[in-house]
Structure 1
Amino acid sequence: MEKENVSLLTEFVLTGLAHPPQWKIPLFLVFFVIYIMTLVGNLGLIALIWNDPHLHIPMYLFLGSLAIVDTWLSSTVTPKMLVSFLAENTLMALSECMAQCFSFIVSATTECFLLAAMSYDRYAAICKPLLYPVIMTNRLCIHLLVLSFVGGLLHALIHNGFLFRLTFCKSNIIHHFYCDLIPLFKISCTDPSFNFLMVFIFSGSIQLFTILTILVSYTLIIFTILKSKSVKGIRKALSTCGAHFSSVTLYYGPLLFMYVRPASPQVDSQDMMVSLFYTVIIPVLNPIIYSLRNKQVQDSVEKTIKVTIFLIWIYGLPMTECY
């Protein structure tokens, strides 16, 4: 009878971000604008790289893939969060919750692997500039991209598979603004210790591997920069790595805080603020960071704007003459 009752639990309630009732509409508008900016910024960057043949090189293939993953990550979380500002309680079916959790893990893990691959690309460009075209070929770049996405997919399959061992009978209220592993573990009436262990092992191993890759790459880059006696060369190296290093710092800080630290008994507002940062804020910042710190992207944007204005002027000219 108890098992039958447990199987009847098919919906969860997301409490969303804690906020005073009068803040619902302002918060909705703020995060709606952020989401639109995320879509415009990342999709615009993807279109820019796709349309400009000069950007069809490994560095920008990685950057375009990062923009795809940022769009994916934000779109997994933000729309449901926006609904929660307008609804009293956001209901999610068990299957929908599992799907959101799966999509989040795939995109978040893939981003970790992409940032590590990008650090290797920057190492090859700065430390081995003459051999860079030989080391970082488009073929190797495609292989790294495929491995990044496959790694994210396998990681998500592992954790979603282990979720099926859990039953939910204590409560169906998730104190979060999206379905994530840790909040689901908190409300399980099955002992989730094994699931916590799997998160620590797999997520910890992935973060350790990618962080070590980034640290080794940047250590070698720093040594190369210090050996350089050219001020122009140092500035060029710093400008090349600056955007990527900013993305790494912004992304890994919250992830380490969330998934590698010991689990607390309750999911508190601090956890949600950290989650909000890397699921909603970082995806809107990345295209801005890379656009501001990358001369080729700026030149391509400027060229695209000029061509667009010219085409508008050309096609609008006959209409003007009619008047």
Structure 2
Amino acid sequence: MHGKENLTIVTEFIILGFPEFPELQIPLFILFLLIYLIILMGNLTIIALMCLDPRLHTPMYFFLCNLSLVNIASTSVTLPKLLDIFLTKRQRISAGGCFAQLYFFIVSASEEYILLTVMAYDRYVAVCHPLHYAVIMNQRLCLLMTAALWILGILFGAAYIAFLLCFSYCGSNEINHFFCDLSALLKLSCTSTFPLECLIYIMGTFVALPCIISTFVSYIYIISTILRIHYTEGRRKAFSTCSSHLTVIILYYGTMLCSYLRPTSTQSLTQNKLFAVLYNGFIPMFNPMIYSLKNQEVKKALSKLVAQIILCRDRKNFFSSCDCKTSCFRKK
């Protein structure tokens, strides 16, 4: 740090974590460690199922695989540092490390936002235009949409960080959050944050709002189509393919909008931390459960995978058997 006009220019930040609960640091460490492990295990299982089971090589599961990757990325950016704070009390993070953490979080959050919209469109085509589904949702379109959402996420993250790097951070360097959150950094700036706040609302108007509108318009068509199905079994099957995704959309959009699209003057850091725990911890943890518990194809694929693993473990000389290694996941 160095002095300038009687102000201390911040070159590092202190992430406070959860100072409101000093006596609960170890229980919180255990809680967030379990959340992180469940996120990793659940989402990696989803990815493994998509790769190993040919029946899941469809656009819906391709996008779900990308969602699992985004969930792993977003939580791996924030939760390991929080666990380190709980365990070692190392709360300091360099300014560069802080901006890097925020950048990758914004990238993954933006990608998830757009990806949920893409998944809604996929469900719209599947339910409302089932006969043309294979033609519309072809491999080329799926790859183009996936590449576009990753590129847009990278550009959004760069735009936010470019604005943040123009600000001066002086005086207090304590971030009252469990990671380098945008709202917490804005409160530490000693220059006007109006340009960045305008960018947030512009992004919300021209990016987030169209995503939300197109998602819910898709579901209006989906629900109206489902209600026109006369036989109960067909209606149940159509609704089951969309209910998991709709649940995730409501949870994720609701918490993100409440956290970032409120005026800065009305934002409470305690409320922001609560919302952040929801969209950066509990939602990624429950995503694999939501998609697997309500999806018969995923449950069948998981049962098949478990059965094959048990079969391999029961064989003699499992680790030295070339036959077992090469044939355990061979399609029956």
Q: CA 1:172–1:304 in structure 2 vs 1: closer, same or farther (change >3 Å)? A: same
CA contact (8 A) 1:13 1:91 kept: yes
Q: CA 1:265–1:213 in structure 2 vs 1: closer, same or farther (change >3 Å)? A: closer
TM-score (norm 2): 0.92
Aligned-residue offset at 1:185: 0.9
Partner residue in 1 for 2:37: 36
> SS in structure 2 opposite 1:179?
coil
Q: CA 1:166–1:304 in structure 2 vs 1: closer, same or farther (change >3 Å)? A: same
CA contact (8 A) 1:15 1:175 kept: yes
Matches within 5 A, 1:168-317: 168-264=169-265, 267-316=268-317
> SS in structure 2 opposite 1:269?
helix
Question: Alpha carbon RMSD of aligned pairs, Å?
Answer: 1.9
Aligned-residue offset at 1:203: 3.4
Partner residue in 1 for 2:96: 95
Matches within 5 A, 1:88-167: 88=89, 90-167=91-168
Partner residue in 1 for 2:68: 67
Equivalenced residue count is 319
Q: Which letter does structure 2 place at the counterpart of 1:173?
A: E
CA contact (8 A) 1:69 1:110 kept: yes
> Deviation per CA, 1:60-82, whole angstroms, max 9, x where unpaired?
00000000000001111111111
Q: Which letter does structure 1 place at the counterpart of 2:132?
A: L
Partner residue in 1 for 2:56: 55
Q: Counterparts of 1:23 and 1:220 in 2: how far apart (Å)? A: 47
Aligned-residue offset at 1:151: 1.0
CA contact (8 A) 2:9 2:171 kept: no
Aligned-residue offset at 1:268: 2.5
> SS in structure 2 opposite 1:315?
coil
Q: Counterparts of 1:213 and 1:135 in 2: how far apart (Å)? A: 17
Aligned-residue offset at 1:224: 0.6
Q: CA 1:223–1:51 in structure 2 vs 1: closer, same or farther (change >3 Å)? A: same
CA contact (8 A) 2:168 2:191 kept: yes
> SS in structure 1 opposite 2:265?
coil
> SS in structure 1 opposite 2:18?
coil
**Unaligned segments of structure 2, at least 5 residues:** 321-332
Q: Counterparts of 1:3 and 1:47 in 2: how far apart (Å)? A: 54
Q: Which letter does structure 2 place at the counterpart of 1:309?
A: I
TM-score (norm 1): 0.94
> SS in structure 1 opposite 2:154?
helix
Partner residue in 2 for 1:25: 26
Q: CA 1:120–1:27 in structure 2 vs 1: closer, same or farther (change >3 Å)? A: same
Partner residue in 2 for 1:11: 12
> SS in structure 2 opposite 1:50?
helix
